[in-house]
Structure 1
Amino acid sequence: MTTYSAVRTTGIYCRPGCGSKPLAENVQTFELAAAAEAAGFRACLRCRPYRVAGTVADEAPELVCRAVQLIIAGVLDAAGEAALAARIGVSARHLRRMFHEHLGVTPDQFARSRRAHFARRLLDDSELGIAEVAFASGFGSLRQFNRAMREIFRASPKELRARRRKADRLTADGGLVLRMPYTPPYDWEAMSAFLKANAIPGVESVEGGIYRRTITLDGEPGLLEIGPGGPDHLLLQAHLPFWEGVIHVVDRAAALVGLETDLSMARQFLHGDPEIGPLLAARPGLRVPGAWGPFELAVQAIIRNPPSPAEVDGAQEPSTVRRAPGEVPGDEVLRKVVEVYGVRVPGLGFGLTHLFPGPEALVGVEPVAALAREVAEGNITLDCGRPEELGRRLEEVPGVSRRAAQLVVMRLGGRDAWPLDGEAGHLSPWRSLAAFHHLIGDYAKAS
């Protein structure tokens, strides 16, 4: 977790390691850059706090962490705090109170700070025009963008771009390339190995340590590439049909590879366990992976983890995509689903051929027909706003095993999922991290 130091006499806040040496009695600390900004401090021009990862500490209540995930997904772009609160089952007043108590900001202030920091990175790293940066960062207008940048950075976007350093500029043969910051340690080798072993044929691939996948933005196809960049960041190269709202593309990519979580408390809690402790020590940089699309994740979890005989109760023979135990490997079923029901995208290479189909396309396709129908009709929302409820709801859907449901909850940010045998209650409330240390197995060795 990054702790920011703000100096009352200068009105400036810094990240750890900055060369400034203020008197201790003049220093106030914040866990979020947004909280320092809400208190009236501006970012240091020397250490540039906006260029480091700004994750929310895992000691924050899970309700707050779920709300943060929804903000990152863009819920506040088109709705207010009341809609956000409703998604997690509390009142807007209670949500604001929880944010103030644990983060030092309101949900709106948190969202605005993220947009401004992302825009500042785009001004440094890219050659996008000022207006393109504004809309790529999620601002609704140039006026709103200019006002936020002046309030947070005390300068106009044009002035901020003039200050960028030569080494900041990133170039690529095509697309937009951006840094994805993280707080070390981070185990990209293990993460990319896991993603490779679980890649959906035609939609995802990992070659030479680079993860690639197809995506869709408002119905138009795009391509993402994620790979190692430096000791404190990955590199994302995005090939997109337009740049508007690209902040959410980057945020979703960061969540996919586990950059949006701070696990310091989870590690502290688990390190003394005789079984999990040695695994944590062996891979201190292991993060729980997220997912690009919740429905896509749920489909692959169901296909790759069919119900056990004890869980099956009157199941009917699938009619469209056949899957009998031991008959067709999960990858082949997924490949068939993608080829038959996904949208073809030619000319990408790297084995990428299709966009993953949406729930409406799979309503009649076994073994995921029941889930697709529930999602398409709005009966299940796969955003993990309330992870325990989501897990229970998924297990009620025909064809969804307990393991599949718990894998979905784990990869959508639930802290206490357990997609393994047994209960492991002594590892609660951080079973997700413990489970992933078990699941990672020999993926990295095999990659």
Structure 2
Amino acid sequence: MHEDVERCVRAVRSKDARFDGWFYTAVVTTGIYCRPSCPAVPPKPRNMRFFPSAAAAQQAGFRACKRCRPDASPGSPEWNHRADVVARAMRLVADGVVDREGVPGLAARLGYSTRQIERQLRAELGAGPLALARAQRAQTARLLIETSALPMSDIAFAAGFASIRAFNETVREIFALTPTQLRDRVARGHPAAGSGTLSLRLPFRAPLCPDNLFGHLAATAVPGVEEWRDGAYRRTLRLPHGHAVVALRPRPDHVACSLALTDLRDLTIAISRCRRMLDLDADPVAVDDLLRADPVMAPLVDKAPGRRVPRTADPEEFAVRAVLGQQVSTAAARTHAARLVAAHGEQITDPFAPAGGFPSGGLTHLFPSPEALAELDPTALAFPQARRTTITTLVAALAAGEIDLGAGSDWDEARARLSALPGIGPWTVETIAMRALGDPDAFTPTDLGIRGAARDLDLPHTPAALTGRAAAWRPWRAYAVQYLWATLAHAINRLPAA
């Protein structure tokens, strides 16, 4: 979009927040770059320059605006609805792969050479993977500087910088302030952060309907791993350097995030996974506008616009849970998953629990990894033999790395490998594609709830006919599923009582 100068100028002049994260506006007379919705007086068009990423603006020598904080804008929805190599690379960069494995590790995951990855990212984003990762480190550093009382040396290494010098130079270059000055600008004081507990605001593009998003996560929550408590969805997270407990509360203009980490190096990855789980980088206006063009869907969209697709923080966990949920009720699926957690999950201590613990519930475990589940005794599963075989085969394939469901996975290849496993049919494949892979066009025409909703709306309700009818909803069929599900009287469609 950044190459459409007239459209970008119109967005900047109207301060249209819908375009935050789609492109960045640099002002040649001031040397700063902003998000389109910056409250400052718009510059003259001849002084504007447009960039596809914050990293590209930084590489061109522009500093981040101190008013609109462009580095903290929602991510571009391009990286969540596209399946090409650039989008896969951006999802992996957000998941911290470059910091952990370097550019060679990123290229290896994508099946390309480092030169090919560099060339494709530069061509589309104006910056290579190292610059993109550097911009992300700067944003992590800023979060830690402004929301914690950690020493600057701890922040530098937690954000992924190799040295204090690189940390200081990057912060000064991007924010035109030293780390200490950046902290001093914060008016709200410095909360203690020795435990690694942080309070953050996760931005999104409006509108956002929290009902099905948080309602689905709460209704399907696995005891010990997830829960709804005090108006927040809470869950444990398995991360590269440790684990975390997160509490997410919907607010009118952001999602409030309380995050307790065992290792602060996992901050960026934890935020990225929470954003993906809540689909916060979606473009709801584009989705809803397309669905409104269908006269059957239009009333559903107008009733509660901005529905997101409830996804997952751990795609391998979700794949196992999808198989556990085959042909059983939501309550039964939770019970089966809770048994696996109790038998094979890693115990943790809930850092948000009051002294003496919660009266009931609480977060007690991480969901077991595929490696841990690979050791389970199939006879301990309360399933028919065929279902046991499906679970053990899936777990073995995930543990061996034969199926990649991660942020940079190839969606078509993942579908093909899942389909090749015994007992995994189209419903399971598309459910995993929708919620674990994040494919916005995943569609489940065999789902009983979808077929029932279609019948009630006088839509075709056989799988083949419904698939044909749904062609008009592409590439947003996963969102159409949310609107169809919302017609049902089910707990997944409403926020639980606080």
Partner of 1:362: 373
Contact (CA 8 Å) 1:8, 1:27: kept in 2 or not? Answer: yes
TM-score w.r.t. length of structure 1 = 0.86
Partner of 2:143: 121
User: Structure 1 88/262 Cα, relative in aligned 2: closer, same or farther at 3 Å?
Assistant: farther
Q: Please state which structure has a larger fraction of its residues in helix.
A: 2
2:279 corresponds to 1:261:
no
Q: 1:70, CA displacement in angstroms?
A: 1.2
| Range with greater deviation from structure 2 (260-269 or 379-388) | 260-269
Write the mapping of 1:164-179 to structure 2, written as runs, cut at 5 A. 164=186, 166-167=187-188, 175-179=197-201
Partner of 1:14: 34
Partner of 1:305: 326
For residues 269-320 of structure 1, give each alpha carbon's deviation from its aligned partner in whole angstroms, at most 9, with x where no partner exists. 33312333433333322222221111111111111125xxxxxxxxxxxxxx
2:335 corresponds to 1:332:
yes
Partner of 1:104: 126
User: Structure 1 211/285 Cα, relative in aligned 2: closer, same or farther at 3 Å?
Assistant: same
Q: 1:49, CA displacement in angstroms?
A: 2.1
- Letter in structure 1 aligned against 2:471: G
Distance 1:56 1:133 in 2: 29
Partner of 1:353: 364
Distance 1:173 1:438 in 2: 46
Partner of 1:211: 233
User: Structure 1 140/62 Cα, relative in aligned 2: closer, same or farther at 3 Å?
Assistant: same
Partner of 2:426: 402
Contact (CA 8 Å) 1:60, 1:102: kept in 2 or not? Answer: no
Q: 1:107, CA displacement in angstroms?
A: 2.4
- Letter in structure 1 aligned against 2:401: G
2:203 corresponds to 1:200:
no
Partner of 2:450: none
Distance 1:267 1:58 in 2: 19
Partner of 1:5: 25
- Letter in structure 1 aligned against 2:422: P
User: Structure 1 4/414 Cα, relative in aligned 2: closer, same or farther at 3 Å?
Assistant: same
Partner of 2:478: 432
Q: 1:158, CA displacement in angstroms?
A: 1.9
The alignment partner of 1:62 has SS state of coil
Q: 1:205, CA displacement in angstroms?
A: 0.6
For residues 242-269 of structure 1, give each alpha carbon's deviation from its aligned partner in whole angstroms, at most 9, with x where no partner exists. 3223221122122211123345444443
Distance 2:78 2:189 in 1: 28
Q: Which runs of 5+ in 2 are unaligned?
A: 1-18, 379-387, 447-462
- Letter in structure 1 aligned against 2:336: V
For residues 313-341 of structure 1, give each alpha carbon's deviation from its aligned partner in whole angstroms, at most 9, with x where no partner exists. xxxxxxxxxxxx68992222112111111
Distance 1:80 1:240 in 2: 23
2:67 corresponds to 1:46:
yes
Partner of 1:376: 399
Write the mapping of 1:410-429 to structure 2, written as runs, cut at 5 A. 410-411=434-435, 412-421=437-446, 422=463, 423=467, 424-429=470-475
Please point out which of 162, 180, 184 is paired with 1:158. Answer: 180
Q: 1:425, CA displacement in angstroms?
A: 3.4
Distance 2:154 2:401 in 1: 34
- Letter in structure 1 aligned against 2:57: A
The alignment partner of 1:80 has SS state of helix
- Letter in structure 1 aligned against 2:395: A
Write the mapping of 1:208-247 to structure 2, written as runs, cut at 5 A. 208-217=230-239, 220-228=242-250, 230-247=251-268
Partner of 2:292: 271
Partner of 1:391: 415
Q: 1:212, CA displacement in angstroms?
A: 0.7
Distance 1:92 1:397 in 2: 32
Partner of 2:460: none
Partner of 1:341: 344
The alignment partner of 1:79 has SS state of helix
Contact (CA 8 Å) 2:284, 2:306: kept in 1 or not? Answer: no
Percent identical residues = 35
| Range with greater deviation from structure 2 (423-432 or 262-271) | 262-271
Contact (CA 8 Å) 2:214, 2:310: kept in 1 or not? Answer: no
Write the mapping of 1:71-86 to structure 2, written as runs, cut at 5 A. 71-86=93-108
Contact (CA 8 Å) 1:176, 1:238: kept in 2 or not? Answer: yes
User: Structure 1 287/240 Cα, relative in aligned 2: closer, same or farther at 3 Å?
Assistant: same
Distance 2:285 2:189 in 1: 29
- Letter in structure 2 aligned against 1:279: L
The count of residues paired between Structure 1 and Structure 2 equals 427
Contact (CA 8 Å) 2:248, 2:257: kept in 1 or not? Answer: yes
RMSD across aligned positions (CA):
2.8
| Range with greater deviation from structure 2 (14-23 or 92-101) | 92-101
Distance 1:407 1:217 in 2: 24
For residues 384-439 of structure 1, give each alpha carbon's deviation from its aligned partner in whole angstroms, at most 9, with x where no partner exists. 52112111211211232321221111122223211333333343333222223334
User: Structure 1 218/392 Cα, relative in aligned 2: closer, same or farther at 3 Å?
Assistant: closer
Q: 1:351, CA displacement in angstroms?
A: 3.5
TM-score w.r.t. length of structure 2 = 0.78
Partner of 1:27: 48
Q: 1:130, CA displacement in angstroms?
A: 1.1
The alignment partner of 1:378 has SS state of coil
